Structure 1
Amino acid sequence: MAVKITYANTPVSRLHPMTKIMAILMLGLCALVWPDFTLGLVLVIALFVVSFVARIPSDFVKIMFGFGIPVTVMLMFIQGLYSPKNQTVIADFGFAQLGLEGVLYAAKIVMDLLVFLGSFTIMSKTTYTGALVAALTSAGLNAKAGYLILASLNVVPQMQRRMSVIREAQNARGLSESGGLFSRLAAYVPLLGPVVMSSLTDAQERGMTLETRGFGITDVKQTSYVEVRWRTVDKVCNWVLVIMAVIVTAISVGIYIGVIPALTPWAGA
């Protein structure tokens, strides 16, 4: 018997998982095909707004800035100073010159990455993992592949919870995690063994449980414990995403071949 999962009471959380996957693909495609970084920047700002609607702004900001700042600095240094595309010098540091073309190319790469990262973060933070796998299997994905996805997405949170439990148990037995860097590293060594062994045991027991329940049988139709349903808003969102991707792709192709003039001064850089 299927069970209907009740999501958090936000418009984003109530969307079908396949709609969120479609959003990742279509938004990422729009950012990739656009000639410069401007559309990617607009999409990133829109994703920040969506994160507030989904009530995950703090997690979203941490991931976006935690990834975006170091990647931006690295790419701006490499592309801005040493890109072979550089022709327009905007700053001279003596040992190297900062080129406008390299900076714009770096900005384009960063925005593309952030669009994919931001949309995937919103999906992962607002979608129950079981519902995601149920949606994928109902769309035709093999049940074993679905289980691999489910296990892969759950392995890190499960190990974090297990690490927390084992750490508390070790602290109750007198293990100290204070002191310098080497003292802290030495304190984590006793935690690794129980975490790894318990994870392996858990994986073995889960595999045996699945086999005893007929998971490996291929000549019968398998049902899902989790039920996900399409709603009108999901259909509308999918059509909007597809139409937007088609329009953006058509405009981008027109700009590349010269039929449509560049919409921003950075498109030809």
Structure 2
Amino acid sequence: MDNKTFANQFLEPKRTGNLIQDLNPLTKLNVFLIFGLSAFFVGSFYYSFGMIIFLLLLAAFARCFGSFLKVYWKVLLMFGLFLFAIKAAFAPGETIIWQKWGIHITVESIHAALLLASSVCAFCGAVIMFAQTTEWSSLTYALEKKGVSHITSFAILSSLQTISDLGVNARVIMDSQKARGIETEGNLIQRIKAYIPVMGPLILNAISSVEEKSIAMDARAFSAPGKHSMLVDLPEVTIAEKTFAILVDVLFIAAVVWRIVSWRI
């Protein structure tokens, strides 16, 4: 690649070649948030389970199925099964299936448990899907183009990156502990004992990274007055993309209105 080709690639909007990943970050935020919230307003566990299947297919289409499922199956186990068990055991109902030790499992409680667990899992899946298909830097840049202060967008980006950086640093420190022959696996107590010594280096690394970021910000004239420039631009929002987002919003509003009317009736 010659110098001219290398320079020209920064003049073109940032694209991945995937329809979902190339959507504007704010459009994806709007659409996926509505996908998740719709599970609560439709009020049918068939719809919620269908939304979960739809998100899995969407993840495969967006070429992030592996990373999406790696996170999502933990949510299904942690929140889905837990909420289902608690709701099914203690929710009120008349048609009793099994009862003992104060636990009353009824047909009505199972129905309520399926609705709650599936709705929460669908919402979590939509949030995870947004995180898997969106770069945080692109999201904050899209917010800046809408008028958000660059200080606010940097605070959001820095907070999100700090969370991921802490996870990466923790894994690096744990691996170094393993290389020294320190037991880091086993039961819960052993894992807690192994993780306590990690907290010191982890906090020190976080403090040092703050200083490094402040130096980098000064070097890039972050606090200088005037309009800030970006190395890579985002693609323009097409008419089809705007139409799709508006259609999703209208359908969601219709679902909310229908739900409110059905409650009153």
Is the TM value for this pair above 0.5? yes
In structure 1, the residue matched to 2:3 is none
Match of 1:245 among 240, 246, 252: 252
Preserved CA contact (<8 Å) 2:32 2:129: no
Please name the residue that 1:266 is paired with: none
Q: CA deviation at 1:131?
A: 0.7
Distance in 1, matches of 2:165 and 2:52, equals 30
Q: 5+ residue gaps in structure 2?
A: 1-6
Which deviates further from its counterpart, 175-184 or 97-106?
A: 175-184
Correspondence for 1:195 among 184, 202, 211: 202
Which ranges in structure 1 are unaligned for 5 or more consecutive residues? 259-269
Distance 2:190 2:43 in 1: 51
The residue that corresponds to 1:150 in the other structure is 157
Q: 1:114 to 1:180 in 2, by over 3 A?
A: closer
| 1:106 partnered with 2:131 | no
Distance (whole Å) between structure 2 residues aligned to residue 257 and residue 21 of structure 1 = 31
Scaled by the length of structure 1, what TM-score is found? 0.79
Residue correspondence of structure 1 range 215-234 to structure 2 within 5 A: 215-216=222-223, 220-229=226-235, 230-234=237-241
Is 2:129 the counterpart of 1:122? yes
Could you state the TM-score of these two structures normalised by the residue count of structure 2? 0.80
- 1:65 corresponds to: 73
2:104 to 73, 97, 106: 97
Other-structure match for 2:89 = 81
Q: Distance in 1 between matches of 2:173 and 2:128?
A: 28
The separation in 2 between residues aligned to 1:180 and 1:129, in whole angstroms, is 32
> CA–CA distance in 2 between the matches of 1:32 and 1:197?
42
Opposite residue 208 of structure 2, the aligned amino acid is T
Report how far residue 147 of structure 1 moved: 1.1
What is the deviation of 1:185?
5.6
CA displacement 1:213-266 (0-9 Å, x = unmatched): 44345x6333444422313342132122112212322332333233xxxxxxxx
**Is the CA contact 1:176–1:187 (under 8 Å) kept in the aligned structure 2?**
no
- Indicate the larger mover: 228-237 or 114-123: 228-237
Deviations 1:153-210 (A, max 9, x none): 2123323433455556666xx6113476477665555544333212211112212432
Out of 50, 60, 63, the residue aligned to residue 52 of structure 1 is: 60
Provide the identity percentage. 19
Amino acid paired to 2:182: E
Kindly state the Cα deviation for residue 110 of structure 1 after the two structures are TM-superposed: 1.9
- State the SS of the aligned residue for 1:55: coil
Q: Is the aligned partner of 1:8 residue 2:13?
A: no
What is the alpha-carbon distance in structure 2 between the residues aligned to residue 226 and residue 134 of structure 1?
A: 10
Q: Deviations over 1:89-144 (max 9, x none)?
A: 2x214333212232222222222222221112112112122111101121232222
Count of aligned positions:
253
Q: Which amino acid aligns with 1:149?
A: I
Point out the structure with the larger helix share. 2
RMSD: 2.9
Does the aligned pair in 1 maintain the 2:37–2:123 contact within 8 Å? no
